[in-house]
Structure 1
Amino acid sequence: MTIDELQRLYLTSDLVEAVVEPSIQTNGWIVEFRHRRGGLVPLTDHTGSEKCYQDVDSATESAFEVGFHQVRIADAF
């Protein structure tokens, strides 16, 4: 989901946690959001591709942009 779509879910309290974690597919970091009904929702671009960031700080800023004030950073492998 894009940042705009995720912001709408955040405003309706459908997202309960933001997680930044290492990407399995690339050498970088991804942002996922835990949905209140379970499961993770990834941050994607407008084409539906998972967004990957070069560093934790950039990924964290995207989670903040969605609306979260706290972000969990998952351990690197």
Structure 2
Amino acid sequence: MTLTELQGLYARSDLVEAVVEPSIQEDGWIVEFRHRRGGFVPLTDGAGSEQCYQDVDTASERAFEVGFHQVRIADSF
């Protein structure tokens, strides 16, 4: 989901956690959000491709833009 779509879910309290974790496809970090009904929703671009960031700080900033004040950083491999 795009940043704007995720902001809408957050505003409706549908997202309960933000997680930054290492990407398995690229060298970098991705942002996923735990949905209140279970499962994770990744941050993607408008075409649906998973967004990958060079560092944890930049990835965390995207989670803050969604609305979260705290982000869980998953262990690297």
Using the size of structure 2 for normalisation, the TM-score is 0.99
The aligned residue for residue 24 of structure 1 is: 24
Question: 1:43 deviation in Å?
Answer: 0.1
Q: Which amino acid aligns with 2:35?
A: H
Structure 1: give runs of 5+ residues left out of the alignment: none
Structure 2: give runs of 5+ residues left out of the alignment: none
The aligned residue for residue 68 of structure 1 is: 68
Q: Which runs of 4+ in 1 moved over 4 A?
A: none
Using the size of structure 1 for normalisation, the TM-score is 0.99
* CA offsets 1:10-54 (integer angstroms, 9 cap, x no match): 000000000000000000000000000000000000110000000
Query: Hey, what's the Cα distance between the residues in 2 that align with 1:11 and 1:32?
Result: 16
The aligned residue for residue 38 of structure 1 is: 38
The root-mean-square deviation of aligned C-alpha atoms, in Å, is 0.2
The aligned residue for residue 50 of structure 2 is: 50
What percentage of aligned pairs have identical amino acids? Answer: 81
